[in-house]
């Protein structure tokens, strides 16, 4: 998957015109990309469209229209894109209380390295460039070989597994989730 290029990023009136339809479309597909792992952990699979939308919303909220700043932010947001031969996701630690969030993040140190996908019995451990969960969000990538990509695209069973000393979970994905999470995966 190509990095986000500034020329595809909509800002100002261009974005406002499409904003409602774009957000509705993403919201409708959102549940199929979201996996509740219990204990306040949620894994959300990213796509080029979700990352672009997040960038455009951020630019809107910050009222950014400077082309150099847009280019810099596009580069930064592109880090969330795992590529055509991987699945990208963001692992969220969810706690409404800021103190509780800080405690849970500290408790789950290095949790990203404890997250795996199991595709048709093959375990793929997440890769993360983040040192810690920071503000409660960690980008992850699941590199897939050709067999794993074909199995995923062919509808194989997929589980998300967390094997951390402070949190263990195993959640099977529903069949309708597979197309939603693999939209950017290349055979």
Bridge partners for 117 per DSSP: 124, 160
**Residue 93 within any structural domain of the chain:** yes
Alpha-carbon dihedral sign for residues 132, 112, 92, 139: positive
* Sheet of 86-93, strands arranged across: 34-36, 41-46, 86-93, 137-143
* CA pair distance 88, 185, nearest whole angstrom: 10
So what's the pLDDT on residue 31?
Answer: 80
Phi then psi dihedrals of residue 160, to 5 deg: -105, 130
**Residue 186 within any structural domain of the chain:** no
Number of domains in the chain: 1
Bridge partners for 42 per DSSP: 36, 92
Query: Cα separations (Å) of 101 from 29, 44, 75, 96?
Result: 27, 18, 28, 7
**Residue 14 within any structural domain of the chain:** yes
**Residue 137 within any structural domain of the chain:** yes
Q: With a threshold of 0.75, does the pTM exceed it?
A: yes
**Residue 187 within any structural domain of the chain:** no
**Residue 1 within any structural domain of the chain:** no
**Residue 114 within any structural domain of the chain:** yes
Highest mean pLDDT among 22-36, 64-78, 125-139, 163-177: 163-177
- The tokens 């597909």 sit on which residue? 29
Computed over every residue of the chain, the mean pLDDT equals 86
Domain region containing 103: 6-181
**Residue 156 within any structural domain of the chain:** yes
Higher pLDDT, 41 or 105: 41
Q: 130 by DSSP, 3-state: which? A: coil
Residue 135's pLDDT band, with cuts at 50, 70 and 90, is: low
C-beta separation of 56 from 73 below 8 A = no
């Amino acid at each position: 998957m190509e990095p986000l290029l500034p020329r595809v990023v909509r800002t100002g009136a261009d974005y406002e015109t499409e904003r409602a339809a774009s957000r509705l479309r993403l919201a409708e597909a959102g549940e199929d990309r979201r996996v509740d792992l219990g204990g306040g952990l949620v894994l959300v699979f990213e796509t080029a469209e979700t990352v672009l939308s997040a960038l455009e919303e951020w630019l809107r909220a910050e009222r950014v229209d400077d082309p150099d700043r847009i280019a810099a932010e596009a580069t930064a947001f592109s880090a969330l894109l795992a590529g055509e031969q991987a699945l990208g996701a963001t692992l969220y630690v969810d706690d409404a209380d800021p103190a509780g969030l800080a405690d849970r993040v500290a408790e789950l140190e290095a949790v990203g390295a404890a997250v795996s996908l199991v595709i048709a019995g093959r375990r793929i451990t997440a890769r993360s460039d983040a040192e810690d969960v920071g503000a409660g969000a960690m980008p992850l990538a699941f590199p897939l070989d050709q067999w794993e990509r074909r199995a995923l695209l062919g509808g194989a069973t997929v589980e998300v597994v967390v094997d951390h000393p402070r949190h263990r979970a195993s959640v099977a994905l529903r069949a309708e989730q597979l197309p939603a999470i693999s939209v950017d995966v290349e055979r």
